[in-house]
Amino acid sequence: MRIDVVTIFPPLLAGAFEHSIIKRARERGIVDIHVHDLRDYTADRHRTVDDYPYGGGAGMVMKPEPWFRAVEALRVAGNPGCAILLTPQGKRLDQGLVQQLAAEDRLILLCGRYEGVDERVREHLVDKEVSVGDYVLSGGEPAAAVLVDAVVRLQPGALGSSESIVEESFAAGLLEYPQYTRPPEFRGWRVPDVLLSGDHGAIDRWRRERQIERTRVRRPDLLADIDDVSETTA
Ligand SMILES: C[S@@+](CC[C@H](N)C(=O)[O-])C[C@H]1O[C@@H](n2cnc3c(N)ncnc32)[C@H](O)[C@@H]1O
């Protein structure tokens, strides 16, 4: 998979893709990530990317021309990729959308700044608009970092054998069960006996029950989307 990120602040993203699972996935050739400076696609000597909003109002709006030049230059014949504008007005990112995006060959991510981007970028350039949540960030870079992280860890071979996506939160529409490691007792708080019992059947049952209970308490909306909880978790 190839991912291109277009931003006016490339250094904000440099470190985000140079550690841990993403670093390993890049080294293994599982994902090819490129960060581009939007200003490289401007045509004036001041490398201008923004201008005053028509109709007045606070702040500046990102001009359409650099975005069109950048995305059109990055799109290659036969593999145009899926161009995604990060915006609080987009479809809210969840594990289902992450799975869809992880199946693409190529993503081109557009990080907005200021008051946002000229509407013609939304209407005529991008394929999707994605939000990372119902709050407003100063720019699309943290949102792009979130999206890239979630997508890369779903690529086959990106996780080591000790890391599993099968039992993670949302994988089966439920939150994950509680996790413990050594010591068995810390400040008087004991690890549940069943986890120390060696009885794998009992451990599986305990984990399924905790998943359902935890999801019911914290995210009842997730349970509403599942037809048969016992089947999903069996
Ligand atoms: C200050 S925001 C602009 C918000 C815009 N004026 C509005 O009300 O929709 C600047 C940029 O940050 C990014 N951004 C902010 N919040 C975001 C979110 N929740 N998800 C994805 N991107 C976001 C977008 O790229 C946006 O263009």
Q: What is the pLDDT of residues 1-45, one digit of tens each?
A: 999 999 999 999 989 999 999 999 999 999 999 999 999 999 999
> CA 95, CA 125: separation in Å to the nearest integer?
25
- Determine whether 191 is exposed, middle or buried from the number of CB atoms within 10 Å of its CB (0-12, 13-18, 19+): middle
Domains of the chain: 2-152 (3.40.1280.10), 185-233 (1.10.1270)
CA gap 17, 39 in Å, rounded: 21
Mean pLDDT across the stretch 46-58? 97
Name, in order, each residue with C-beta under 8 angstroms of 210's C-beta and a sequence gap of 6 or more.
Answer: 177, 178
Q: At 234, is the pLDDT very low, low, confident or very high (cuts 50, 70, 90)?
A: very low
- Site to substitute for ligand 1 among 9, 87, 134, most atoms within 8 A of C-beta: 87
Please tell me the residue having the least CA distance from ligand 1 atom 22: 87
Secondary-structure percent of the chain, ordered helix, strand, coil, rounded to 5 = 40, 20, 45
Global confidence as pTM:
0.94
Contact, 68 vs 95, CB < 8 A?
A: no
Nearest ligand 1 atom to alpha carbon 114? 10
Beta-carbon count within 10 A of 87 CB? 23
Ligand 1: which of 136, 138, 141, 147 to mutate, most ligand atoms within 8 Å of CB?
A: 136
pLDDT category at 163 given cuts 50, 70, 90 is low
Residue nearest to atom 25 of ligand 1 (CA): 112
The token duo for 183 is 């010591």
- Say how far apart CA 200 and CA 215 lie, in whole Å: 22
65 pLDDT exceeds 70?
yes
Torsion of CA 130, 132, 137, 142, to 10 degrees: -100
pLDDT, position 226: 77
CA distance 174 to 216: 9
What lies within 8 Å, CB to CB, of 175 at 6+ separation is: 169, 211, 214, 215, 218, 219, 222
pLDDT category of residue 77 using cuts at 50, 70 and 90: confident
Q: Which two tokens stand for residue 130?
A: 């994605």
Share of the chain above pLDDT 70, in %: 95
Residue 144 to residue 130: CA distance in whole angstroms? 9
The yes-or-no verdict on residue 199 having pLDDT over 70 is yes
Per-residue pLDDT, 232: 52
